[in-house]
Structure formats: C-alpha cells, structure tokens
C-alpha cells in the first residue's frame, strides 16, 4: 500500500499533537506507512496546497469549519470528517486511525 498522508486540524495544533503520536504508534503496529501530522486551522490551506493529503480530520473544537473546507477538499477529492468527540477526548489513536482509513476506503 502506498504511503498515506493524514492531516489533523485543530485550533492551535497543540492538543492534537498527542493524538498524532498515538495514531503513529497504531499505524506502526499495523505496518502502515503513514505521514500523520497536525496543523492549526490557519495553516491548513497552506498544507493542502503543498502536500498530497489523502484525508483530513477536524478536531471537535473546529467542527464549525467543516463547511469551509468541504468545497476545497471536494475539488481535490480529499475525504473530510470531524474526529469523534470521545475518541478525541480519550486520545484514542487507534479509533481515529480507523476513522481515517475508512474515509480513504482502506479498512
């Protein structure tokens, strides 16, 4: 399987960095080649321009931005969803990785 790029977006990019670490551990445990990173909402557009993002997940605190990103991502055929609130709160990297894989059709 080709390397997958998973971008998480939150308000400042800080709280999500712990979740990224947990997702990376889960991906390694499955033998997945994944580039998983977090950015602040203000950096999201730059990253979409400069990286080949396969899926974008929004932190629950920026769920209101989903409608802003939908048209941009639809044009690039990039799936988008909001991270489940309880998975985010529990920093459940395994479940959030599962969510990203499902969105990419890579269950």
Active site residue 48: no
Chain centroid, CA 14 distance in Å: 14
**87-93 contacts at long range (C-beta below 8 A, 24 or more positions apart):** 88/19, 88/59, 88/60, 91/18, 91/19, 91/22, 92/22, 93/19, 93/21, 93/22, 93/23, 93/24, 93/25, 93/26
Catalytic residue among 8, 10, 48, 58: 10
User: What are the residue numbers of the active site?
Assistant: 10
């Amino acid at each position: 399987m080709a390397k997958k790029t998973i971008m998480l977006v939150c308000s400042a990019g800080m709280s999500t960095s712990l979740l990224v670490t947990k997702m990376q551990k889960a991906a390694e445990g499955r033998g997945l080649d994944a580039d998983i990173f977090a950015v602040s909402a203000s950096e999201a557009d730059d990253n979409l321009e400069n990286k080949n993002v396969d899926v974008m997940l929004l932190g629950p605190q920026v769920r209101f931005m989903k409608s802003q990103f939908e048209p941009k991502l639809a044009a690039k055929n990039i799936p988008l969803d909001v991270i489940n609130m309880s998975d985010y709160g529990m920093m459940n990297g395994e479940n959030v990785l599962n969510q990203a894989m499902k969105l990419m059709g890579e269950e």
